[in-house]
Amino acid sequence: MAQTAVLDYLNRFDEVQANFKAQELVDFMNGHIDIPVIIVALYLALVLYVPNVIMKARNALKCQSFFALWNFILTVFSVVGSFYTVPHIVSVIYNRGLRYSACAEPHEFYFDGRVGFWVAIFAFSKIPELMDTVFLVIQKKDIIFLHWYHHATVMLYCWHGYSQKIATGLWFASMNFSVHSIMYLYYFLGAIGARSLIRPIAPLITTLQLLQMVVGMAVTIASFVWSLDGEGCHVDPANSRLGLIMYTSYFILFAALFKKLYLTPGGRKKTADVTVGVEEKKRK
C-alpha cells in the first residue's frame, strides 16, 4: 500500500515536471521585483543586527541534528538537479555547439519541461538557502563577508536572470548544482562527525568553486560578445554586466581564501574553524 502511494506520488510529480511551462513564473517574477529586494533587506538585518543585538546576551542554540538534516536535504536536492541539468547541457553542446547552449532562446532548449522545472527550482532555491546563515546566527558563529555577500548577490542575480530569460541560465544552474552536490555532502558529513575523513577533499571543493567562477566569467563574456554580432544572443546586457561583476568578485574572494587556507604557512591551522566553500560555515 505504501509502495503504491509512493509510486503514485512520483508519477504525479513527474507529470508536473514534464508539463512545466516557465512563462507564468517569468511573468510573476517580473511583476514582483520587490520580493528579492525585501528579502535581502531582511537578510542583511539578520546578518548585521541580530548577532550583535538579539543574540549577544543569549546562549548559542544547539541544533546539530537540524544542521545535518538541512545539509543532507540540500545534498539530495543538488544531486537530483544535476541529474536533470548536466546531461542535458552536455547533449546540447555536443549536438548544437557552444554558442547555441549560451545564446539560443531558452524556450527552444531548456526553459520548459523537466529541465526547465529544475532550472526554475534552482533560481528559487537561493531564497531558502539563506537558512545557512540562520544556522550560523543562532549558533553564534562568525559570519564572514564572503558568506553573506554571496548569498545576497546570487539570490538577486538568479531572480533577475530568470525573469529576463537568459540563455546562459542552464550553464549556471548546471555548474551550481554540480558543485553544491559535493559541497553540501561535505558539510553533512562534517556535521555528523566525519571531518577527519573528508578534510583532505577541502582544497578540491574550493578549487572546483574557483573553476566554476572562471567558467562563469567565460560564458558571460562570450555570450555578451556574441550578442553584438549579426546573429545575436538571447541575453540581457544588464544581466551580463551584473553577472561578470558577480563572478569576478567571487573569483577574487575565493582565490584569497584559497591562498589563506592552503598556500599560507599555518593558514589552515589558524582557520581550522572555517569550512571551505561559498557558505563558509564554521566547523562543528
* Active-site annotation, residues: 150
Look at residues 242, 50, 47, 261 and name the one whose alpha carbon lies nearest to residue 148.
47
d(CA 33, CA 27): 10
Residue type, 275: T
> Phi and psi of 56, rounded to 5°?
-60, -45
Distance between CA atoms of 48 and 40, rounded to whole angstroms? 12
Interatomic CA distance for residues 186 and 78, integer angstroms: 13
Q: Is the dihedral of CA 33, 113, 84, 66 positive or negative?
A: positive
Contact indicator for 235, 168 with CB cutoff of 8 Å: yes
Residue 76 near residue 188 (C-beta atoms within 8 A):
no
DSSP letter at 280 equals -
Phi, psi angle pair for 234, to nearest 5°: -80, 70
Going by the DSSP 8-state scheme, the letter that residue 142 receives in this structure is -
How far apart CA 52 and CA 50 sit, in angstroms, is 6
Instruction: Assess contact for 233 and 166: CB atoms under 8 A.
Output: no
- Chain position carrying cell 510529480: 13
Q: Could you write out the three-class secondary structure of 26-81?
A: HHHHHHCCHHHHHHHHHHHHHHHCCCCCCCCCCCCCCCHHHHHHHHHHHHHHHHHH
